[in-house]
Amino acid sequence: MRGARLAREFASHSVTTVQRRGWAGIKNGDLLSLAWNEFDVLITIDRKLSAEQDLTKFSIAVVLLRAATNRLEHLRPLAGKILQRLATAPAGAVTVIST
């Protein structure tokens, strides 16, 4: 539910979560393929994603959030930075946003 609550910070964008899409439990490669077909950006807290996947195969920007913890209270302050970087986040690469 953390993702759904964080998604509220982006009311000006079309946002959904892995859980809402029914994609929970899908492996990263398959998840990237699904997201690539429907979205411009994938926002994640999974620090292993870029090491495990060749992101250049996917025409989707990946935004990696790094905060003190993955709790909403630590992720929410990143919302402004995320909004600023969405338009310039390059497809096929990771953009790291941290506190």
User: Quick count: other Cβ atoms within 10 Å of Cβ 12?
Assistant: 7
What pLDDT, on the 0 to 100 scale, is given for residue 54? 92
pTM of this prediction? 0.87
Residue 2 contacts residue 75 (beta carbons within 8 Å): yes
Contact status, residue 36 vs residue 26, Cβ threshold 8 Å: no
Q: What is the pLDDT of residue 2?
A: 58
Task: Fill in the amino acid letter for 68.
Answer: A
Give the per-residue pLDDT at 98: 95
Mean pLDDT by 10 residues, the chain (99 residues): 71 83 92 92 90 92 94 91 92 94
- Please tell me the predicted confidence (pLDDT) of residue 84: 92
